[in-house]
Amino acid sequence: MDNRALRADRGKIEISFGRKQLLIDVVTSDRKRLSITVHPDLRITAKAPSEYELEVIRRRLEKRASWIARQLDFFERFQPLPPERKFVSGETHYYLGRQYRLRIQPSKTARVRLLGRFFEMELPNPNKKEKARALMLDWYSAHAKSLLSRRLSQYLPVFVKMKVAEPKIRFRRMKKRWGSCSENKVIIFNTELAKAPILCIDYVIVHELCHLLYPNHDRKFFRLLKRIMPDWEKRKERLEQVII
Ligand SMILES: [Zn+2]
């Protein structure tokens, strides 16, 4: 693409930032300043004054490269906030996006259950943090499995209609991701999802199911995601606030 082609109307400019190649759709128009937008589907667009030479636009975009890369990172981010739990009475724990207080009481048996606004835990030795932690993990894991399976059965038929082979579903506690979908169609859901609101859980389910058709976060992927879940961006934003 030469200057004339760009100045005529529009074009693409590719700049590199670290290991990232940023492909930017540039539109020129009768305007005073250059503006750049990074979209949630990872498209990058820029509007430039029509009198700008291609090289000027390129230089300006390069100056903003780190900002663009940061925006992309934000939209690519798909991981929970790191856990920091002490397992003591009074501590807040989450279930389906709601807060519950942990209350630990001594007892002969070890168990935990949800009662009103509390996680009621009984422990032979309330000071045994590791035991309290293990109990909570088991509780979340059991609830995540039944919850996710139930929600999954709502969305799976949509994908089966698109001639997608049924995936194998696994559950695992993960620190860095809410879910994953491998090439051999195994979807793993993070059992920590039980802490997130249902609308976020549904988003992760649909996101991973979309990977059955499109393994990468490319335009086709986002087009399908948007079609099935038009408000996925809001759900994703909410998911990023979830503390595990
Ligand atoms: Zn993904």
Per-residue pLDDT 10s for the chain (244 aa) are 444 444 435 689 999 888 788 999 999 888 999 999 988 778 899 999 988 888 999 999 999 998 898 888 777 766 666 656 889 999 999 999 999 999 999 999 999 999 999 999 999 998 889 999 999 999 999 999 999 999 999 999 999 999 888 899 999 998 878 999 998 999 999 999 999 999 999 999 999 999 999 998 888 999 999 999 999 999 998 898 887 7
**Separation of CA 54 and ligand 1 centre (Å):** 34
Whether 17 contacts 37, CB under 8 Å: no
Residues whose CB is less than 8 angstroms from the CB of residue 71 and which lie 6 or more positions away in sequence, other chains included:
38
Q: Contact, 126 vs 105, CB < 8 A?
A: yes
3-class DSSP state of 53: coil
Q: Tell me whether residue 85 is in a domain.
A: no
pTM of the model: 0.69
Centre of ligand 1 from the C-alpha of residue 179, in Å: 8
Report how far ligand 1's centroid is from the alpha carbon of 237 (Å): 15
Within a domain: 187: yes
Same domain, 112 and 70: no
> 27 with 124, same domain?
no
Same domain, 220 and 148: yes
Whether 21 is covered by a domain: the verdict is yes
Could you tell me the distance, in angstroms and rounded to a whole number, from the CA of residue 217 to the centre of ligand 1? 6
Structural domain span for residue 53: 3-76
193, 101: one domain = yes
> Given this model, what pLDDT does residue 40 score?
73
Whether residue 165 is found in the same domain as residue 135: yes
- Rounded to whole angstroms, the Cα distance separating 33 from 128 reads 62
Please give the tally of structural domains in the chain: 2
* Alpha-carbon torsion, ordered 48, 50, 53, 58, to 10 deg: 10
